[in-house]
């Protein structure tokens, strides 16, 4: 018998997510989009995930920031500091595949969510801890923030104009990259646990991620003493030309990562001799050694036409290039539309919310998207359907403070009102 509908790739994975803000939720949202059941554990003592309150676009306990990182997830308000809250958590561990968190490096052991703490409940549980600095080392207890890590890992020293200050990336790339690394670790851990019947800890850190992403400049430094420097107009450290160039009316990127591209560009700008044997610019090494002279010549040439005029010529000649878009232009690019990268959900406060699809593609099925959960919206689903608790057990746990002081009835009423309005 074939199923009534095809299962989503990760529909058979349940993740308990003790997560907050950006890095952790960014990693798990892609898993949720692929069908994993991600149950956010939100601390009622602090109003749940702090991402709910990020300005400027927020109302009550909902923000567009929170929507970005938490669609397709479930929410349960649970006070893990209480014995009763802990008991609910442990029951969830018994029927889940993963405990996923992004906390300070010393906190997972402190609150008892490592593999050693939980293996007696579920020998196959995978405990993924995405922390700032990892669960070992002298910085273990330090909070890890993207901005701090970009500085600490050498990124800011590499970014910006040579005569300008060290510069942070315009996006929180350490956080987002760390989220992806955590998701990869999680999937590898689940695969191994299902194969072997034994779970594990996955000790992932933003610091490790940031250092690892130094990639080949780090290899050059470790083996050849290379000293990275900031490059003018975001130029590649070794490939010339490959950088931003100013045209008559704006900026564009032109890059020659292969000799064939350089030959085409040289002809296009009226100097085919630049690509010939014997030319000081005739190969990678020559262009790198004579980059100041060559780039000055190219910069003068590119000023004579508009961005669109140059791009049409460069596209026709099959030279790698592209405009330097602002955010609006990037979101309205034809390729953005063609790839289905903008998706929409309905929200009780914000109405129709447009946001970006996950870039993770598995198979041919189109993912479906559900708005981020209201805080504690999935109380009944978790307590009654997943855990099978009856009314008496639920009331007892409420009385004991397992779910904090969240006005559960008002949350349920809000959800019912939203459903009725649809």
CA distance 29 to 126: 18
DSSP assignment letter at 205 = E
- Check residue 142 and give its pLDDT: 94
- Check residue 405 and give its pLDDT: 78
Q: Which residue stretches of the chain have pLDDT < 70?
A: 1-4, 406-422
Which pair of tokens denotes residue 399?
A: 């009385």
Which pair of tokens denotes residue 304?
A: 């004579």
Which 3 state secondary structure label does DSSP give 152?
Answer: helix
DSSP string computed for 278-293: TSTTSSHHHHHHTHHH
Tens of pLDDT, residue by residue over 386-415, are 999 999 999 999 999 999 975 544 444 444
Which residue ranges make up each domain of the chain?
14-212+362-421, 232-246+251-323
Only one residue has tokens 């032109």, namely: 254
- Check residue 82 and give its pLDDT: 96
Per-residue burial over 124-160, b if 16 or more Cβ lie within 10 Å, else e, is: bbbbbbbbbbbbeeebbebebbbebbbebbbbbebbe
Find out whether 19 and 98 touch, Cβ atoms under 8 Å.
Answer: no
Tens of pLDDT, residue by residue over 284-301, are 999 999 999 999 999 999
For 232-246+251-323, which CATH superfamily applies? formyl-coa transferase, domain 3 (3.30.1540.10)
- Check residue 2 and give its pLDDT: 57
CA distance 179 to 146: 12
Pairing state between β 242-246 and 74-77 = unpaired
Only one residue has tokens 């939720």, namely: 25
Which pair of tokens denotes residue 109?
A: 């052991």
Q: Which residues pair with 347 in a beta bridge?
A: 351
Domain 14-212+362-421, second-level architecture: 3-Layer(aba) Sandwich (3.40)
Pairing state between β 58-59 and 251-255 = unpaired
∠ Cα 208 40 181 (to 5°): 20
For the chain, helix, strand, coil in percent to 5 are: 45, 15, 40
- Global pTM? 0.90
Only one residue has tokens 């989503």, namely: 8
- Check residue 190 and give its pLDDT: 98
CA distance 129 to 195: 21
Is the alpha carbon torsion for 383, 385, 388, 390 positive or negative? positive
Ramachandran category for residue 313: left, alpha or beta (phi over 0 → left; psi -120 to 50 → alpha): alpha
DSSP assignment letter at 248 = S
Which pair of tokens denotes residue 57?
A: 């676009």
Residues recorded for the chain: 422
């Amino acid at each position: 018998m074939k199923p009534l509908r095809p299962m989503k790739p990760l529909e058979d994975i349940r993740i308990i997510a003790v997560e907050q803000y950006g890095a952790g939720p960014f990693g798990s949202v892609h898993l949720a989009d692929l069908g994993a059941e991600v149950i956010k554990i939100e601390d009622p003592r602090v109003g749940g995930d702090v991402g709910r309150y990020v300005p400027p676009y927020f109302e009550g306990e909902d923000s567009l920031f929170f929507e970005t990182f938490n669609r397709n997830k479930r929410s349960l308000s649970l006070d893990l500091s209480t014995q009763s809250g802990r008991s609910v958590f442990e029951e969830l561990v018994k029927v889940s595949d993963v405990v996923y968190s992004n906390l300070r490096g010393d906190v997972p052991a402190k609150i008892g969510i490592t593999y050693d703490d939980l293996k007696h409940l579920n020998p196959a549980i995978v405990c993924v801890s995405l922390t700032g600095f990892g669960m070992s080392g002298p910085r273990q207890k330090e909070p890890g923030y993207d901005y701090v890590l970009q500085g600490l890992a050498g990124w800011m020293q590499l970014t910006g104009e040579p005569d300008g200050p060290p510069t942070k990336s315009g996006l929180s790339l350490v956080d987002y990259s760390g989220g992806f690394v955590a998701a990869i670790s999680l999937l590898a851990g689940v695969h191994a646990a299902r194969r072997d019947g034994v779970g594990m800890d996955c000790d992932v850190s933003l610091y490790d991620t940031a250092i690892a992403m130094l990639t080949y400049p780090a290899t050059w430094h470790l083996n050849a003493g290379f000293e990275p420097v900031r490059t003018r107009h975001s130029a590649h450290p070794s490939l010339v030309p490959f950088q931003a160039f100013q045209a008559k009316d704006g900026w564009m990127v032109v890059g020659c990562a292969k000799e064939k591209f350089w030959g085409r560009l040289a002809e296009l700008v009226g100097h085919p001799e630049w690509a010939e044997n014997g030319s000081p610019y005739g190969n990678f090494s020559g262009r790198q050694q004579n980059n100041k002279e060559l780039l000055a010549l190219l910069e003068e040439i590119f000023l004579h036409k508009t961005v669109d005029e140059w791009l049409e010529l460069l596209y026709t000649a099959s030279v790698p290039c592209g405009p330097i878009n602002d955010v609006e232009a990037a979101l309205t690019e034809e390729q953005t539309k063609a790839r289905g990268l903008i998706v929409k959900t309905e929200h009780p406060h914000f109405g129709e919310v447009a946001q970006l699809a996950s870039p993770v593609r598995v198979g041919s099925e189109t993912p479906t998207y559900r708005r981020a959960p209201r805080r504690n919206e999935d109380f009944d689903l978790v307590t009654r359907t997943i855990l099978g608790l009856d009314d008496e057990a639920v009331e007892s746990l409420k009385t004991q403070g397992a779910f904090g002081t969240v006005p559960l009835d008002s949350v349920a009423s809000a959800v019912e009102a939203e459903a009725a309005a649809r």
